[in-house]
Copies of this chain bind each other. A is one copy, B any other.
Amino acid sequence: MSAQAAGFDYGIEAIGAYVPRSRIHCADRAERLSVPRDTLVSRIGFDTLSVKDSGETTSDLACRAIADLLERCRIDPQRIGCLVVVTQNPDGYGIPPVSAIVHGRMGWPTRVASFDLALGCSGYVYALSLTAGFLQSLGADYGVLVTADPYSKIVDPDDRATALLFGDAATATLLSRQAPWRIGAADFGTSGDHAGSLMLDERRRLRMVGKDVARFCIREVPGSIARALEKNAAALDEVDVVLLHQGSKFIVESIGDALGVPEKTPFLAQDVGNTCCSSIPLVLAPLLSAPSGARTLVLSSFGVGLSWGSTVLRYAPQAAAPAQAQCAPQEQAQTQPQVLAVTA
């Protein structure tokens, strides 16, 4: 075990989410694209994909996720130190950044720092570390971390490699000092040699060499999780759930097998698809109330870059801590009916 001091003064207090109601039915699309039913069911694993309305912008999704967070938590905007948006699909062409647009629409004070992080499926773990570290340097009470990366803007519906994978969603995570779910130290990595495995072509359409990406993730992610555990002086035995990026059923199950704990690596995105940087916060949200006693979680996100990040969340409510925000108990999102069953 490493002797290194691990983790941040900040933790996760609550997560808001927005999942568009419209769905693409994968069975229909698979038939049209001549993708075998067995491939869809046993490897891809998504029944439906959430999809935004064509008129909805990335900042719309972000604002709806924040609205959900604000319905649940009372947050004094004067105490927000930063607004971070993880996206690779900003409004228009990215100038101004989504974070500035959202800042304006929320009417938040000018003292709120804001920036966009251009990360893909590995984005949530990166953004947790960056936001927590940034808040620490600011000494601010709250940070709001938004994930909003609607891949429907870039997926070619006729491309068999990607048309059955990606769903649209957004989340808004409230970080606060002394929040109960403490964010641990993280392990990160990059394999720029594989940067071309997931890219936009000249028509701004996603192209993916699926086998490369899967092979890479299955090879690299277990080691990243092991290093993250070591940094936090934790053992896999004591981890209740390992929340992996919900890239596909095959990737989640393969990494679960490689770790030797397939029962701890649930695949929970059947109804929404791979929502990129939103996939982990979507499945994390219902666990935050710890109703069934989950107290140690591993998060591991991976994808575009290729890049990855893993960290440990520990439930450690502080008796003496002032309630940083008055949040109602985190309720189960309508879109993930299967989540609570996992920890039961």
Chain A interface (Cβ < 8 Å from any Cβ of B):
4, 8, 82-83, 88, 90, 92-97, 99-106, 108, 110-120, 126, 129-130, 132-134, 136-139, 154, 185-186, 188-196, 198-200, 202, 204, 206, 220, 304-307, 309
Contact = CB atoms under 8 A, between A and B. Distances in A.
Secondary structure type dominating chain A contacts: mixed
A305 B97 contact: yes
Given A100-B307, A134-B130, A110 B200 contact: no
Contacts of A119: 97, 115-116
Contact of A112 (B112, B190, B204): B190
Nearest to A93: B200
Contact of A101 (B88, B99, B192): B192
Q: Copy number in this complex?
A: 2
B115 A126 contact: yes
Nearest to A5: B139
A117 B120 contact: no
A320 B117 CA distance: 37
A109 to B, nearest CB: 8
Given A82-B188, A93-B200, A104-B192, 9 more contacts: A92-B199, A92-B200, A95-B199, A97-B118, A103-B192, A106-B192, A111-B188, A112-B190, A129-B134
A195 to B, nearest CB: 4
Contacts of A116: 117-119
Contact of A137 (B101, B186, B304): B186
Given A119-B116, A192-B101, A137 B126 contact: no
Q: Counting chain B CB atoms within 10 Å of each CB, which of A103, A115, A120 scores highest?
A: A115
Given A110-B189, A115-B119, A92 B309 contact: no
